[in-house]
């Protein structure tokens, strides 16, 4: 039975066929229809553009659509000035980058908004399309970098929690059963999975002993019917699909469709060539796994094997 990371890489499925990244969303806000249409046409090729004709309408769109990367707002609008509108978006969407378009010299409001961190930059009307596109591109890059760093920090904290739980379980658990659900929960948290099952084995067969985490009230365990799980057990190697609907081996499998599982990773838990169980990570959205995430899964599976062996022998 092989254990190296090269085998993990060799048996990945579709990891390069799907990217999480999509066109960033931007919101353009202007009460003049011609300006609004011009802004839309300027950015529609590079971004997913949402349009609003007022600050109030823009707040409604944000409530329905969620966070956007960039907001471009006119300053002088009826009912609500651009700076007032943008200030209302800060508490819920602090990472969004905000740009004001202004056709007059309202310096006091603009300086106050910039100093308060509510506005990234202001551009005077009539704007130069190439200048505006350059500013928005830099704003989008700033947003991307901020989200990337936030995600890296979240991931580092989650990984530390995962390793901490594994160590604590190894030291404190009084029985094998006590270890399973905490480990499954820690894995789900670390990899933002919608469900995680840690199921023990008897020989080459899955046993009834299991622990699980689910984002829903209940969890259906269909691993004994799953081709991916069967392959992981047969080969002793991590099996991955990032888009079950486009995987020819899984597209027709009913439990993926019935339970809305789009991505699935199955990790054999092996200690000294003995397969102790399998760990199943499940997501309801297609995605991809980076190399560092696969390496962490591979390392963590080895630690889980040690933890389970220690608990079984206690």
Q: What is the pLDDT of residues 100-112, one digit of tens each?
A: 888 765 566 566 6
Q: What are phi and psi of 209, to 5 degrees?
A: -80, 120
Q: Tell me, which fold does domain 173-313 have in CATH? A: Beta-Lactamase (3.30.450)
Contact 268, 236 (CB under 8 A): yes
Is pLDDT at 173 greater than 70 in this prediction?
A: no
Average pLDDT over all residues of the chain: 83
Q: Measured between alpha carbons, how far apart are the two ends of the chain, in Å?
A: 27
Contact 224, 206 (CB under 8 A): yes
pLDDT at 3: 41
pLDDT at 311: 67
Which candidate, 203, 198, 280, places its Cα nearest to that of 234?
A: 203
pLDDT at 106: 58
DSSP structure string for 194-223: SEEEEEEEETTEEEEEEEEEESSS-----G
Question: What HEC string does 147-170 produce?
Answer: HHHHHHHHHHHHHHHHHHHHHHHH
d(CA 145, CA 277): 39
Reported as a single tens digit per residue, the pLDDT across 291-307 is 777 777 888 888 888 87
pLDDT at 115: 62
Is pLDDT at 4 greater than 50 in this prediction?
A: no
pLDDT at 214: 92
Integer angstrom CA distances of residue 49 from 27, 33, 94, 100: 6, 15, 19, 16
Is pLDDT at 257 greater than 50 in this prediction?
A: yes
Region 79-85 average pLDDT = 88
d(CA 71, CA 69): 7
Question: 25 pairs with which residues across the strands?
Answer: 48
Which candidate, 282, 284, 101, places its Cα nearest to that of 187?
A: 282
Question: 270 pairs with which residues across the strands?
Answer: 275
Contact 35, 53 (CB under 8 A): no
Lowest average pLDDT, out of 33-37, 38-42, 300-304, goes to: 300-304
pTM value is 0.60
Per-domain residue ranges of the chain: 25-147, 173-313
**CATH architecture of residue range(s) 25-147:** 3-Layer(aba) Sandwich (3.40)
Residue 280 host element (H or E): strand 274-283
pLDDT at 111: 66
d(CA 229, CA 249): 12
* Band of residue 10 on the pLDDT scale cut at 50, 70, 90: very low
Contact 37, 68 (CB under 8 A): no
Region 169-181 average pLDDT = 75
Range with top average pLDDT, 15-29, 113-127, 260-274? 260-274
Residue 97 host element (H or E): strand 97-102
Which candidate, 298, 297, 302, places its Cα nearest to that of 155?
A: 297
| Matching residue, tokens 């066109």 | 23
Region 43-66 average pLDDT = 95
121-124 vs 97-102, strand pairing mode: parallel
Residue 70 host element (H or E): strand 70-74
- Token readout for 223 is 């691993």
């Amino acid at each position: 039975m092989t254990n190296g990371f090269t085998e993990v890489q060799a048996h990945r499925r579709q990891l390069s066929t799907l990217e999480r990244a999509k066109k960033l969303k931007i919101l353009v806000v202007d009460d003049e229809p011609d300006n609004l249409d011009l802004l839309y046409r300027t950015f529609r090729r590079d971004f997913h553009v949402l349009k609003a004709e007022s600050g109030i309408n823009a707040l409604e769109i944000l409530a329905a659509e969620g966070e956007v990367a960039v907001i471009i707002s006119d300053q002088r609008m009826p009912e609500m000035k651009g700076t007032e509108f943008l200030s209302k978006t800060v508490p819920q969407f602090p990472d969004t980058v905000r740009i004001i378009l202004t056709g007059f010299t309202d310096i006091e409001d603009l300086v106050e908004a910039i100093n308060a961190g509510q506005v990234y930059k202001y551009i005077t009307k009539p704007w130069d399309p190439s200048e505006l596109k350059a500013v928005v591109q830099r704003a989008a890059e700033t947003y991307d970098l901020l989200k990337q760093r936030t995600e890296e920090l979240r991931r580092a904290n989650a990984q530390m929690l995962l390793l901490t739980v594994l160590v604590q379980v190894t030291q404190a658990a009084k029985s094998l059963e006590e270890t399973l659900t905490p480990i499954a929960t820690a894995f789900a948290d670390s990899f933002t999975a919608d469900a995680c099952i840690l199921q023990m084995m008897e020989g080459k067969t899955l046993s009834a002993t299991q622990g699980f985490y689910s984002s829903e009230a209940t969890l259906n365990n269909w691993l004994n019917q799953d081709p991916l799980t069967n392959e992981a057990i047969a080969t002793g190697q991590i099996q991955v699909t990032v888009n079950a609907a486009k995987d020819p081996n899984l597209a027709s499998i009913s439990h993926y469709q019935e339970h809305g599982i789009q991505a699935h990773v199955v990790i054999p838990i092996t200690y000294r060539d003995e397969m102790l169980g399998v760990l199943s990570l499940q997501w309801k959205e297609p995605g991809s796994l980076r190399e560092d995430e696969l390496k962490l899964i591979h390392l963590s599976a080895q630690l889980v094997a040690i933890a389970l062996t220690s608990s079984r022998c206690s």
